[in-house]
Amino acid sequence: MRTSPRRIGLLGGITWHSTLVYETLLHEGVAETLPGRTADLVIRHYDFGAIAAAQEAGEWDGLAATFGRDARWLVDGGAEAILICANTMHVIADEVEAAAQVPVINVIDETAAAIRAAGLSTVALLGTGFTMRMPFYRERLAAGGVEALVPDEPRLAEVHSLIYDKLARGVVEDEGRALTRKATAELVARGAGGVIAGCTEIPMVMTAEDVDVPYFDALALHAQAAVRFALED
């Protein structure tokens, strides 16, 4: 075990609420193993409004170029691995890793590993409309032996709206809690044995205490993997 943590680069601000949770979990995780020490981080924090507009316009190539350039900047600042602090932006994870030339710790891989360890193969996936509609997340889970079920329309659109119109702005309401629980219950009825909180804002309205099936907090699993990387020999 190392006596000082490796430096981790965060591509954050997607949203700022979740980036603060990442930072907290990383610091706490390092301190738990190395009392008196905290995580060694370098951070590129984005204006979420600009990111959201680019996502809506489908400017994924431009986002990949920006994130790749910024990841390289973090590496120049000493980062030995990169965390993309958002599930949706893992659509460009391979491009970011190619640009950075250091590992991008992938939230999908870490989530799939936790699901397999729990003995499950089919789970519900709640996230942004991009995460649920685009194939990248479900295909990478499938490569890890996990099938993900997503809501049908219009429920899918309702979850997406909850994330961008409410949670990304820090607005947490009972209606959001009811929606995520209802969406999860519908997917469990279709055969899901657990649920992935596949957006870093979902835990704002749904935690393990709110569901009757295994709950996989992708953000927490991602942060745990980063702590392991920071501390391993």
Model-level pTM?
0.97
Closest of 160, 92, 93, 154 to residue 125, by C-alpha: 160
Q: What domains sit in the chain, N to C, each tagged with a CATH number?
A: 7-106+220-231 (3.40.50.1860), 108-218 (3.40.50.1860)
Which residues lie across from 42 on neighbouring strands?
Answer: 9
Q: What is the pLDDT of residues 140-159, one digit of tens each?
A: 999 999 999 999 999 999 99
Give the sheet arrangement for strand 122-126, strand by strand. Answer: 147-149, 122-126, 195-197, 215-217
Closest of 16, 200, 187, 190 to residue 111, by C-alpha: 200
DSSP secondary structure of 211-225: -SS-EEEHHHHHHHH
Position 1 pLDDT exceeds 90? no
Q: Give the residue-averaged pLDDT of 47-61.
A: 97
Q: What is the pLDDT of residues 220-233, one digit of tens each?
A: 999 999 999 999 98
Mean residue pLDDT across the chain: 97
Task: Please give the pLDDT value at position 132.
Answer: 98
Q: Give the residue-averaged pLDDT of 61-90.
A: 98
Q: Are 10 and 42 in contact (CB under 8 A)?
A: yes
Q: What is the pLDDT of residues 58-71, one digit of tens each?
A: 999 999 999 999 99
Task: Please give the pLDDT value at position 233.
Answer: 85
